Each structure stands twice: as C-alpha cells, then as structure tokens.
Amino acid sequence: MKSYLAAAVCMTSTPDVDKNLTQAEELIELAVNQGAKLIGLPENFSFLGNDQEKITQVETIALKSEKFLIRMAQRFQITILGGGFSTSYTEDKSKVYNTAILIDPNGLELSRYHKVHLFDVNVPDGNNYHESNTVKAGSSLPPVYDGGDLGKLGLSICYDVRFPEVYRHLSREGAEILFIPAAFTAYTGKDHWQVLLQARAIENTCYVIAPAQTGNHYARRFTHGHGMIIDPWGSILASTGSDIGVAIAEINPQRLQQVRQQMPSLQHRVFY
C-alpha cells in the first residue's frame, strides 16, 4: 500500500438514469483533476426513483451503470466503486439486487457485493421505507479485495453501517479501507450518519470512504449528504457537507500503521 488520494462523491440522483450518469461523470472528472486514484459513488448513483420504476427499468439501470463504471475507470485510469445500483431480476421477477461493484483502471470487475441489510423502517418524519418489497437481500458477507498499492478494500452499502458485525468481519479479513456508500435519509442522517461512520472507523482502525446522496430526489425523498472520508482515529479528513461535490483526502499507510500501534484493539479481541 502506498499513499494516494481518494474521493467520496456526493450527488443528487433522480429517476433519470442518463441525467444521473452525466452528473456522476462531472464529479468523477472533478475528483480526477484533483488527483484522486480511488473514487466511490454513492448508493443509487444511477437511479433514485420509486419502486415500480426501479423494477420496470432494472435491465436498463444495470446495463447502463456497469458500462458507465467501466468507461469511467478506463477513461480516467482509476479504480471506482459503483456504490449500489439495481442489477438482475431475482427468480420471481418482482425483486432485484442492490449491488456494489468495484472496477479497476482496465475496466475489469474486482469485487461485487449484494446488499444484505435492507432498509425497512418507518421514519419518524412520516416517510416509510420498505426496501425488501423490491430488493432481495444478499446472502453472503461482503468481500475484502486486496488492491495492492490501494490497500485492502472492504465493501458495504448504506444500512449495513448500523450492523458493526459486518465491519468486524471486514477488519478480520484484513480490510484497511471501508467503503460505506449510502443514500441516508435526511431525518436519520442528521443524528446518526457521522457518528456511525466514525464508530466504524475507530473500532476497526480503518479508513472510511463514505460517498453519499444529498437533497431532494423525487416526491418527499430527501437525503442527508455529507459524503466524507475518515481516518482510522475517527478524524474527518474531508466532507462535502450537504452540497453536491467531492470529498478528497489522502489514504496514508503510515497513518494507518501509527494508529494501529497506538490503539492495538484489533490485537486485543477476545470474542471472534
């Protein structure tokens, strides 16, 4: 692992796939122009609309999203995470997978993860979310990919952040950087987003790269924003706030080693 710059993209996706991909490309280019070599896009980066639209458009969403990620990786010679988008129908054709894919600069798929924890929550602001109505949960723990000079990268998606056992698994598998792409609700985000990200970074002494959705997407769907990068001590290195933009910070192996020596909690684990 070597020092390099990473970026967490914060965007406002809508039901218009082409418009979303145009916005994403502009933000990727902005990050690349600032030197980023590893870039994360948020959950639902290519489509954020109602459930019925998602189901009827899944083949278009999947095809355009994967082609886009490959094209971006090759064009800019970066490693990129598509932080969650609808992929294939399941066997009953009424549900899809929410999938994160990691692509290398040659356009090759490095790792893939189907979101395991689905957001079925009635939020106190009056919004009700039932992700399991149209999404089939993955059945496997998220992977860790050894990215060589980029370090060991652990994948997750949004609601997973509330389940610390997911990240303990990733750190146990050697993760040094945790991806937590999200479309976190505005109501819960203001109280929980930052503190959860910092907790996952601190307890696992890992960097966290957390791309995010922000603003109003359609109807009453609002997200919190604040795409950010956090170091293994829990310090926020960069944040977009509630704005569309990119958070860029250095991923530094010396800093990682320093924190893990100062706070060797991973070595002190009793229960596995």
Q: Encoding tokens for residue 246?
A: 């990119």
Catalytic positions are: 43, 115, 158
The model's confidence at residue 90, banded by pLDDT at 50, 70 and 90, is low
Read off the pTM.
0.96
DSSP 241: T
pLDDT single digits (tens) 172-222: 999 999 999 999 999 999 999 999 999 999 999 999 999 999 999 998 899
The model's confidence at residue 61, banded by pLDDT at 50, 70 and 90, is very high
Q: What pLDDT shows up at residue 175?
A: 98
Q: Contact, 100 vs 81, CB < 8 A?
A: yes
Q: How far is residue 141's CA from residue 7's CA, in Å, rounded to a whole number?
A: 25
CATH number of the domain that residue 152 is part of: 3.60.110.10
SS3 letters for 5-19?
EEEEEEECCCCCHHH
Positive or negative: CA dihedral 59, 61, 64, 67: negative
Q: Encoding tokens for residue 27?
A: 């933000």
Q: How far is residue 5's CA from residue 124's CA, in Å, rounded to a whole number?
A: 38
Q: Encoding tokens for residue 157?
A: 């998606």
Q: Which residues pair with 224 in a beta bridge?
A: 214
CA 229 to chain centre: 11
Domain that holds residue 257: 4-268
Nearest 5°: the CA angle 213, 218, 221 is 60
Domains contained in the chain, number? 1
pLDDT single digits (tens) 135-184: 999 999 999 999 999 999 999 999 999 999 999 999 999 999 999 999 99
